Chains A and B, each alone.
Chain A
Amino acid sequence: MGRYLGRKGLIYALTLFVAVTINWMLPRFMPGDPISDMVSRAGLRDPEAAARMQAYYENLFGLDVPIWQQYLNYWGSLFSWPPDLGISMWSFPRPVGDLVMGALPYTLALLIPAILLSWYVGNKLGALAARRKALDNTVLPVSYLLTATPYMWLAILLVWFGGMQLGWFPSSRAYSGNLVPEFSMSFIGSLALHWVLPFLSLFLVALGGWAIGMRNLVIYELESDYSNYLGALGAPPRLIRKYAFRNAMLPQITGLALQLGVVLTGNIVTEVVFNYPGLGLLLLNAITSTDFFLLQGIVLFVVIGVLICNFVIDIVYVWVDPRTRTGLQGASA
C-alpha cells in the first residue's frame, strides 16, 4: 500500500512539475508577446512613454530578470502563501488569485454535485438496468443518447426549452441582476434557480456514461467466477448482484478520476452557454482577451485541482480494494 501510494505520488509530482513547467513556458515561448500587446493596446503616441510602460509592466510581471530566475521565482511564488499567481491583464490590476477564487465557488457548485450525483445515480441506474430487461431496454438507449450528446448542445437545448420556451428557469448568469451577493433568502433562492439548468446539462450527459458503464460492468461481474460459484452454491440472486455491484464499483471509482477531465470540459462549455461566472467562463475570457497570466493561473489551478482529486480517489481506492493494500501477489503461501 505504501508502495502503491508512493508510486502514485511520484507520478503526481512529475505531472505537477511538467504541468507547471509547460504552463510557465507557454506565454514565454509561444508566438506573440503579451506585454507588447498590452502596451500597444494602451495606444501611446510617444515611443519613450511606450518603452517606460513596457519596462513598468515587465517589472510588474517579473519578466525583467533572467529566464532561469523567472522560472525559479515562478515556483517560489506558487509555494508562497497565499500563492501569488500574478496580476490579471483582463481585469487589471486584480490579482489572478482573486479572480480565480471568485470564480471557483461557482464552478465547484456546479461540478461537485454534477459529478457525484451523476456518478451515484448513474451507477444505481446501471445496476438496475443490468437486472431488469425492461429497464435495460429503456435505460440503455437513453444513456447512449445522453452520453453521445455534446455538452454544449444539451446546454443550448436546455436554455432554449427550459429557459425560453417554458420560462421556468433563468438561462444565464449565476444570480439575478437585481441582487447583490449576500446571505439572504432571496439571493440564495436566485442562486439555486440559476443553478438548475447548468447543473442539469452536466448531470445528464455524465449520467448516461456512468449508467452504461455500470450496466456493462455488472453484467461482466455477474459472469465472473465468484458469481458462478455463488450461483452454484445456491446463493440468492440478491447476494450475487450485491457482490457484482460492489466489484463493479471499483473500476467506476477509477473511472471517476479519469472522467474528471471530461466533466471539466463539459463545465467549460456549459458555463459559456449559461454565462455562468465560474472558472470555465473565466478561462474563455482570459483567452479572448489574451490575458496570459490569468490563463496560466486558471490552468495551474485546474491542474492542481485535478491532481488532488485523483489523489483522493486513489486513497479511496486503496480503502475499498483490499488488493492494493496487500501488495499484488498473494503475500504468504
Chain B
Amino acid sequence: TEDVTDDVADGENVDEAEDTDDADSANAGEFPRNETVYTGGAEWGTYEDWNPNTDGEATFVRGFLYETLFWFDPWEAELKPWLAESGEWIEEDVYEVALRDGITWHDGEQLTADDVKFTFDLRDVPGVEFPELDEWLDEVEVVDDLTVRFHFSDPRAGQWDNVLYDREIVPEHTWGEMDREEIPEASGEDITIGSGAYEYHSHDENRARYERYDDWWATEHLGLEMAARYVVDFRNESNEVAMSQILQNELDLSNFFLPGINQVPEFGESVHTFYSEEPYMLSANTASLIPNHDRSPTDDADLRRALAFSIDVDDIVDTGYQGIVEKADPTGMLPLWLDQGFRDDEVVEEHGFSYDPEEAERILDEAGYVDEDGDGWRETPDGEDMELDFIVPSGWTDWELAAEVIEENLHDVGVNVVLDFVDPGQELDPRRDSGDYDLVFDNQMLLQNHLFAQYFYLYELPVLDEQANRDNPHRVENEHAWELTQELARLGTPPTDDPDDDERFMEIVSELQEITLEDMVIIPLWYNGLWSQVNDSTWTNWPSDDPDTPNYYPTTWANEFMLGGLMTFTEIEPAG
C-alpha cells in the first residue's frame, strides 16, 4: 500500500508543478490551433497509468514517449526497424538486434544495448507486460553498446516479432533506480522520460497533452519530422461528444466508433475516413459469434454449423453498421492475411459457410434437431427443449443490434435463442471467462504481426476455470490444433529466408483452417473497423486509399499505434 500512495503523492506534486511551470511553455496555457493535433478515441480509462512496462498505459506512452525496436507494417506484413537498425536470427535460437547509433533519451543520456537488456530482463517481474516471455526467452546478452543478442529456450519467431514491435524500451538509468518489484506499480507522470518524438506536457482527467521533443533521433536517422508541436488526446467520454467535436474541427483524428459519420453533410468535405466509400474503415479485428464448446448443445459441431448458415451477416453490416464494416471471411482471417494469400480457397470451398437458412434447416433436421412437440422450437436430438443463452453487453448498441439480427435469424430456422443483455464489465466478462453462456460475441482476433495469434486465440490450452487472458473463451480442447498452433508460432511469416519453413507454414495454416471450419470452432461474422475519422481543416495529408496520400493505419489505439499510427503523425501537414 505504501508504495502506491508514495507514487500517488509524487504524482500530485508534479501535478501542481505542472500548473505553474509547464503551462508557461505552452504559450500561457493555450495551444495554438495550427500547431496542435487533437486526437481521441483511444483512452477508455483516465490518463493515470504512465508506466510503459505494464498493460493499459495511457495513450501515446507507447510510440510518442517510449519507443519500440521495430514497427509493423500491415500492408506488407513485415517488421520495419525503428530503434533497431536491423534484427535477424543469427542462429536457430539466437536473435540479434543492432541498435541505431546516437539515439538519446529525453534527458540527454544515450540509449544503449544496456537499456534493451534492462527492459527485457524485467520480464520475470510479476505484472510486467508479456508475462510468459520468461518461459521461452532464456537470456539477453549485451554484445556491445549497440548490439544485443537474445538467447531462446524456445525460439517462437512469430511471437517474438510481436514482442519486438510491442515492447517499449525503457531507460535503465531512471527505472533502474527503482526496486524491481515496484516497477509495475509505478504510474505517475514523473516516469515519462523516453526516447520518442514527444514529451509529456500535462494531463487532467479528460485529456493528455504532449509537446514535441525537438532532438528526436528519427529526424536525423530517417528524415522524419513531426509537424505538430502539440498533441492533445481526449478521453472517451461519449460518442456524441466525439461526433460534434470531429464535425466542428475540435478533433483532427478521431478513433471513436461513430456510426453515421459517412452520412453527415461534412463527410467528404472536411471529414474523411480511410476509404471514401464502403467499407470506409480499415479492419481491426474479427468479430465472431462464440459458441460454448463446453456446454450442451453448443458442443455439437453440427449445431454450430447450422448456426453459421443461418446468420445474415449482410443485414448486420448494412443496418447495424450502415456499411462501415466488412463481412468477415469464413476463416476469420483479417484482410491483411487474405492479401498475403494465406487463405486456402479449396478448404473454404469445401467447409465454408454463407447465409443459407435452408441449408441450416437441412443440417439441423439431419442432426436430429427437430421440433417434435410442435411448440415452434427445435429440440435437441435427445428431445430436450433447447434455449440458447446469448449474452450481449448492454449499451454496446452495435452489438445489441447485431444480436437482435441473429436472434431473428435463429428464430427463423426454429432455434430458440434468448438475448441476455448484461453489464459489460460486471457480468459479461466474468461469465464469458468462466464459460457461463451458450453464445457470446467476441472480437479478440486482433490485428497483429502474425497468424499464430489468431490460432492462439482459437486453440490455446489448457482450458482454465477462468479463461481470463481472453484466449479460447469458447473452451475448445483440440490438442492437435494446439500443437500446430505452437509450431506455427515458431515460424516467421512467409516469405522468410527458409523456403522449408515457409512451406511448413502454409501447410499448418491450411490444416488449421480446415480444422477450424470443419469443427466450426467459432463463427466469424464481420471485421470491426479500425474506426478512424479525420478532419482535414487544420491538418492534411492524412492516410487514405488515395495514392497521393500515405496509407498508414491511422489510429491512436495503444495496441495498434506501432502498426502505422505513429507513422501517420510523421506525414501530416498543416493545411493551407
* Chain A positions near chain B (C-beta within 8 angstroms): 32, 36-37, 39-47, 49-50, 52, 59-60, 87, 90-95, 98-99, 102, 163-164, 171-173, 177-182, 184, 186-187, 275, 277, 281, 288-290
Contacts of B250 on A, CB cut-off 8 Å?
Answer: 177
Report the minimum CB–CB distance from A297 to chain B (whole Å).
15
Report the minimum CB–CB distance from B18 to chain A (whole Å).
8
- Contact status A40-B131, CB under 8 Å: no
User: Which of A37, A45, A180 contacts B426, CB < 8 Å?
Assistant: A37
- Contact status A186-B205, CB under 8 Å: no
| Contact A49 B430, CB 8 Å, known A60-B1, A177-B38, A182-B19 | no
Of B4-12, B67-75, B364-372, B505-513, the one contacting chain A is: B4-12
Interface residues of B in 3-56 (CB under 8 A from A): 4-5, 7-8, 11-12, 19, 23, 26, 28-33, 36, 38, 45-46, 48-49, 55
- Contact status B45-A91, CB under 8 Å: yes
Report the minimum CB–CB distance from B325 to chain A (whole Å).
24
- Contact status A186-B29, CB under 8 Å: yes
Q: Whose C-beta in chain A lies nearest to the C-beta of B4? A: A93
- Contact status A187-B425, CB under 8 Å: no
* Chain B positions near chain A (C-beta within 8 angstroms): 1, 4-5, 7-8, 11-12, 19, 23, 26, 28-33, 36, 38, 45-46, 48-49, 55, 126, 131-132, 185, 187, 202, 204-207, 209, 232, 234, 237-238, 240-241, 244-245, 250, 395, 423, 425-427, 429-430, 433, 464, 466, 468-470
User: Which of B11, B206, B430, B468 contacts A44, CB < 8 Å?
Assistant: B468
Report the minimum CB–CB distance from A236 to chain B (whole Å).
55
Q: Whose C-beta in chain A lies nearest to the C-beta of B26? A: A180
Contacts of A186 on B, CB cut-off 8 Å?
Answer: 28-30
- Contact status B423-A290, CB under 8 Å: yes
Q: Whose C-beta in chain A lies nearest to the C-beta of B232? A: A177
Contacts of B26 on A, CB cut-off 8 Å?
Answer: 180
Q: Whose C-beta in chain B lies nearest to the C-beta of A38? A: B425
User: Which of A32, A44, A182, A277 contacts B131, CB < 8 Å?
Assistant: A44
- Contact status B429-A180, CB under 8 Å: no
- Contact status A45-B131, CB under 8 Å: yes
Q: With contacts A40-B429, A290-B423 known, what are 14 further pairs, Cβ within 8 A? A: A43-B470, A45-B131, A45-B469, A49-B126, A50-B468, A92-B187, A171-B244, A172-B237, A173-B206, A178-B36, A181-B19, A184-B28, A288-B395, A290-B425
Q: Whose C-beta in chain B lies nearest to the C-beta of A185? A: B28
Contacts of A187 on B, CB cut-off 8 Å?
Answer: 29
- Contact status B49-A92, CB under 8 Å: yes
In the bound complex, CA of A46 to CA of B36 (Å)? 43
Report the minimum CB–CB distance from B468 to chain A (whole Å).
5
Offer 27 A-B interface pairs, CB within 8 angstroms, sorted by A.
A32-B427, A42-B468, A43-B468, A43-B469, A43-B470, A45-B468, A46-B131, A47-B464, A49-B131, A90-B45, A92-B48, A93-B48, A93-B187, A172-B240, A172-B244, A173-B206, A173-B241, A177-B232, A178-B33, A178-B38, A178-B232, A180-B31, A181-B204, A182-B19, A182-B29, A187-B29, A290-B426
Report the minimum CB–CB distance from A160 to chain B (whole Å).
10
